[in-house]
Amino acid sequence: MKRARASDPYASLRLSEFRYWLASSVFSTLANRALAVAIGYQIYELTRDPLALGILGLVEAIPAVGLSLFGGHFADRHDRRAIVLITRAVSVLAALALATISLNAQALGVAALYAVIFIAGIARGFADPAVSAFEAQVVPRALYVNAATWSGSVGQATAILGPTLGGFVYAFFGAANTYLMIASFLALAWLCMALIASKPMPPPTEGESIWQSIKVGVSYVFHHQILVGSMALDLFAVLFGGAIALLPIFASDILQVGPQGLGLLVAAPSVGALIAMLWSTRYPPIKNAGKILFGVVAGFGVSIIVFALSRNFLLSLFALALSGMFDGISMVIRETILRLYSPEHLRGRIAAVQWVFIGSSNEIGAFESGVAARVLGVAPAVWLGGIVTLIVVGVTFVLAPQLRAMDLRPEFAPTLQELEQTRIESATDA
């Protein structure tokens, strides 16, 4: 059989296990994006309070972010595939519980919904690091950029369909049936993951405690300006510039387009991201990747400002799509950085640190958005956040010269020997 070349845009797709991985990702993303629409709209319907949406983000963030570092430790010690299968089974049960609660949501109240989301957040704290680490074992190192681009492209395509489908099913069939559909998607994701064989685990460091293990992973990230700089840039940009948590209010009160319109608004960033990622399969953003990263994060901030000021549904959709396009390019660059700069036996812990940053930016950012919307008003909270994002880009550009000068072409990528040397230095400091 002819070996697929790294320059082949379909190289990673020729691997059967990577195709199973993509299928699992498709169903998982469909479920999670539909869930974001359903639970957000349902809670806002029950409370009519923007702070309730912020609390929703915080309820998921506390276990997901709080357990992520422990999840990274387990992902480097135990079968990563098994961790993913167990946590996705918990997600199926959580979706079924939400369907049951929704049959009498007025009586049970939002506290019951929050409780299920909290349990799902616990599963996510262990799932996210294992998923990231296991994905890197499914494809060879030479195909990391290609695989990251296809994973992102397929993920964004399903992220378009997921919220749109969730919004329309919610509008016409109600919350309970929407959660049943989500549970079905999660079950299919579990089945596709089960078709991938387990991968050998690197031997753990002898005599290393769980706290030492976590500290080594954190220390490694902070020894790499490129790793910590890219994570921090994404953290603060999304923390202050994110508008997703407040979209139910824009759909209901500002643009007045209902749950169907909310589904389209949530899907719009994924449309832009998909376009960017499909472009990246042919023209990967690896030359001068650092400068490109700063440019697209700045573009993200500008597009969020436009969205906040818009009162036209089509203009709002366009601004969100543009934000997704910028974020899609950023995602390809950040995922490539994570793969190229992570030694195999630290992948779970490094991915866990990344998920702490991502969870903080998304869920804690949702809480920040809810509080800011309560204090400042919905639209001002969003456009002021976009301005803060631009400030963050400027400060990071000055403080992170290695990230600014980063180039991800193969001849500039770190060697395995360089990664091992950094691991030794970070372990010594830890």
How do residues 84-106 score in pLDDT, each as one tens digit?
Answer: 999 999 999 999 999 999 998 88
pLDDT confidence band for 317 (50 / 70 / 90): very high
Residue 235 CA to residue 232 CA, distance in Å, equals 5
Give the integer Cα–Cα distance in Å for 134 and 281.
22
**Domain regions of the chain by residue span:** 12-198+206-429
Share of the chain above pLDDT 70, in %: 88
Highest mean pLDDT: which of 47-61, 205-219, 283-297? 283-297
Alpha-carbon gap, residue 258 to 49, rounded angstroms: 16
81 contacts 131 by C-beta, under 8 angstroms: no
* CATH fold label, 12-198+206-429: Growth Hormone; Chain: A; (1.20.1250)
Q: Give tens-digit pLDDT for 135-149.
A: 778 877 777 767 777
**pLDDT tens-digit series, residues 356-379:** 777 666 666 667 777 777 788 888
C-beta atoms surrounding 208 within 10 Å:
16
CA distances from 402 to 8, 289, 340, 407 (A): 30, 11, 15, 10
Mean pLDDT throughout 33-55?
86
Whether the pLDDT of residue 5 is over 50: the answer is no
pLDDT on residue 208: 65
> Is the per-residue pLDDT at 206 higher than 70?
no
pTM of the model: 0.67
